[in-house]
A and B are shown apart, each in its own frame.
Chain A
Amino acid sequence: MARKVTYAQALTEALAEELERDPTVFFMGEDIAFGGVFGLSRGLQQRFGVKRVFNTPISENLIAGAGVGAAITGTRPVVELQFADFVTIAMDEIYNKAAKWRYMHGGQFSVPLVILAPEGAIGGAGPEHSQCPEALFWSAPGLYVLTPSTPADMKGLLKSAIRDPNPVLVMPHKALLNTSGEVPEGEHLVPLGQADVRREGADVTVVAWSAMVPKALEAAKRLAGQIDVEVIDPRGVRPFDFETVLNSVRKTGRLVIAHEAPVVGGPGGEVAAHVAEKALMHLEAPIRRVGAADVPIPQSALLEGAVIPQIDDIVAAIRSTTRAAAANA
Chain B
Amino acid sequence: MSDLQQMLGFYEGILRCMLWEQGLLDMHAEGRISGFYHAGRGQEGTQVGAIAALAPEDYLFYAHRGCGYMVARGMPMDVLYSDFLGTSQGSTRGLGAGIVHIAWPALGILGQSGTLGGSFTLAVGAALSGRVLDERKVTLCLFGDGTSNRGTFHEAANAASVWKLPVVWLCENNGWAVSTTFKESCAVGSIAERAAAYGMPGVVVDGQDCVAVHEAARTAIERARDGGGPTLIEAMTCRFRGHYEGDSQEYRDREQLERLRRERDPLDVIASRIRAALPDADRKLSEIRTRVSAEVAAAAQKARAGTAPQKSRVFEYVYA
Contacts and interface: CB of A to CB of B under 8 A. Distances in A.
A61 B155 contact: yes
B56 interface: no
Contact of A96 (B94, B105, B115): B115
Interface in B143-160: 151-152, 155-156, 158-159
B245 to A, nearest CB: 22
Interface string B112-124: 0111001011111
Contact of B126 (A24, A52, A72, A108): A72
B118 A97 contact: yes
A70 B93 contact: no
Contact of A62 (B59, B132, B155, B317): B155
Contact of A57 (B59, B130, B151, B158): B158
Given A61-B121, A69-B122, A108-B105, A101 B111 contact: yes
Given A75-B129, A93-B121, A106 B92 contact: yes
A286 to B, nearest CB: 33
A59 B131 contact: no
A110 B320 contact: yes
Interface string A56-83: 1101011011111111111101000000
A87 to B, nearest CB: 15
Contacts of A65: 118, 120-122, 124-125, 152, 155-156
A26 B128 CA distance: 10
A24 to B, nearest CB: 7
Given A59-B155, A166-B319, A104 B95 contact: yes
A21 interface: no
Interface in A159-207: 165-166
Given A52-B132, A92-B115, A109-B105, A62 B124 contact: yes
A73 B118 contact: no
A74 B110 CA distance: 12
Contact of A70 (B94, B118, B125, B318): B125
Contact of B122 (A28, A52, A66): A66
Nearest to B127: A69
Contacts of B126: 69-70, 72-73
B101 interface: yes
A103 interface: yes
Count class of interface residues, chain B: 35 or more
Residue in B92, B103, B155 whose Cβ sees the most chain A Cβ within 10 Å: B155
Contacts of A62: 121, 124, 152, 155-156, 158-159
Nearest to A164: B320
B151 A56 contact: no
Contacts of A64: 121
Contacts of B319: 102, 142, 166
Contact of A72 (B110, B127, B133): B110
B316 interface: yes
Contacts, number: 151
A109 B128 CA distance: 17
A105 B101 contact: yes
B2 to A, nearest CB: 35
B122 A105 contact: no
Contacts of B152: 61-62, 65
Contacts of B97: 104-106
Contacts of B105: 108-109
B91 interface: yes
A106 B317 contact: yes
A103 B320 contact: no
A284 to B, nearest CB: 35
Contacts of B125: 65-73, 77
A141 interface: yes
A66 to B, nearest CB: 4
A225 interface: no
A74 B133 contact: yes
Residue in B101, B105, B320 whose Cβ sees the most chain A Cβ within 10 Å: B320
Nearest to A141: B318
Contacts of A110: 320
Contact of A105 (B92, B133, B158, B320): B92
Contacts of B124: 62, 65-66, 69
Interface string A279-317: 000000000000000000000000000000000000000
B159 A59 contact: yes
A23 B92 CA distance: 31
6 contacts: A23-B132, A66-B156, A68-B122, A70-B126, A74-B129, A106-B91
> Would you list the 6 A-B pairs with minimal beta carbon distance, nearest first?
A69-B125, A65-B121, A107-B317, A69-B122, A106-B92, A66-B125
Given A70-B129, A106-B93, 9 more contacts: A23-B132, A57-B155, A68-B121, A68-B125, A70-B128, A75-B128, A106-B91, A106-B92, A106-B103
